Amino acid sequence: MNAAVDLHYVLRRTEFSLDVDLKIPMEGITGIFGESGSGKTTLLRCIAGLEVPSTGQFSINGDVWQDTPKKISRAIHERQIGYVFQEPRLFAHLNVRRNLEYGWRRRGDADDGVDFDQIVNLLDLEQLIDRTPDELSGGEAQRVAIARALLSAPRLVLMDEPLAALDRARKDEILPFLDRLHTELSLPILYVSHNIDEVCRLCDHLVVLDRGRVLAAGEIQSVLVDLDLPLLGGDEAGSVISGTVEAYDADYDLTRLKFSGGALLVPGRFGDMQSSLRLRIRANDVSLCRDRPNDSSILNIIPVTVDEIQIGQGPYALVRLQVGQDFLMARLTRRSCDDLRLKPGDELLAQIKSVAVRTTAE
């Protein structure tokens, strides 16, 4: 049995074409990232059966849902998919409980080991259960929409920019619940977004689309440090590394995080001792020096080795740095590269101004 989602779609339009061939892991969250018009939503609609491709082949764990050469195509209602849109799309005339029960009834005789109360608790909906959609905030309504999709016993969940319509406060409200889905449910999720920080926080795997084609696909750590991907350069550049909590300094409210290249100090308390977490380090927050500064306000100064340098046409260059088994990215001016006489193999010190942390238990 093939433990993966296998898909191949070709769709031709007058001004756009989609040609995608992918193998997606059956666990974790796979981010689909790209600019507007890159084909992200079109791909999800093909998977759900809402678009009719010129060529379509789709199987999940070897179970074929679509194969146009063999004239196989499951109807939309027969595809065990949970679809979460940008807008919650709740039934306005039903309260939260009855909206959820609609999803529950769609599961039929499916037994995925998930019960109604588990999903309600997972998304913290107990206090909302008797409210109507017009009594919910945007974040609350989207949590109900996610719960309804999960209650239908899907084998695959599609999320099409579920946070795009929310303001910053509502996004911060719902992100921890998406983290919990990631941690507690062994269900493959395809998560479309044009927000790279959102993708870095949530996703284990990453697919980069551009004009209907796959530019890169793989584990998020390796895709993010690919210097041949202009979409992930510039202000979007950065890396994701995994770490564990090594110590907490209560006097200064600093957590020491251990990773393959050493340790980092970050403000605040994150998780318990030895708990796993994810670190997002933006290239704009990394600077380089050949000698350790005598006085610096930057807490994190770690040894690195220059792996590769990409010189842009503008004022900036991207430098990929190896640190332990991980890679960091630094975005420097071309003049700084020349002043430091940077070349691959150079051993330097990286000053890291900021680290974003997401604990797996959030």
Average pLDDT over residues 109-134: 88
pLDDT at 111: 67
Tokens of 195: 């927000």
- Per-residue pLDDT band for 313 (boundaries 50, 70, 90) equals confident
Between residues 3 and 164, the one the model is more confident about: 164
Longest CA–CA separation in the chain, Å: 70
Average pLDDT over residues 296-311: 95
Average pLDDT over residues 33-38: 93
First to last CA, the chain: 34
Provide CB contacts within 8 A for 68, sequence distance 6+.
53, 54, 55, 56, 57
Rounded Cα distance, 176 and 182, in Å: 10
Helix (H, G, I), strand (E, B), or coil: what is residue 200?
helix
User: Would the pLDDT of 362 be above 60?
Assistant: no
Architecture of the structural domain at 4-224: 3-Layer(aba) Sandwich (3.40)
Rounded Cα distance, 239 and 197, in Å: 10
pLDDT at 112: 63
Average pLDDT over residues 193-204: 91
**Residue from 143, 183, 182, 148 nearest 163 by CA:** 143
- Summarised one tens digit per residue, pLDDT across range 244-297 is 999 999 999 999 999 999 999 999 999 888 888 999 999 999 999 999 998 889
Strands in 356-359's sheet, in edge-to-edge order, are 262-267, 254-259, 238-249, 276-282, 356-359
Rounded Cα distance, 78 and 73, in Å: 10
- Per-residue pLDDT band for 110 (boundaries 50, 70, 90) equals low
Which CATH class, in words, describes the domain spanning 238-359?
Answer: mainly beta
Domain residue ranges of the chain, discontinuous segments joined by +: 4-224, 238-359
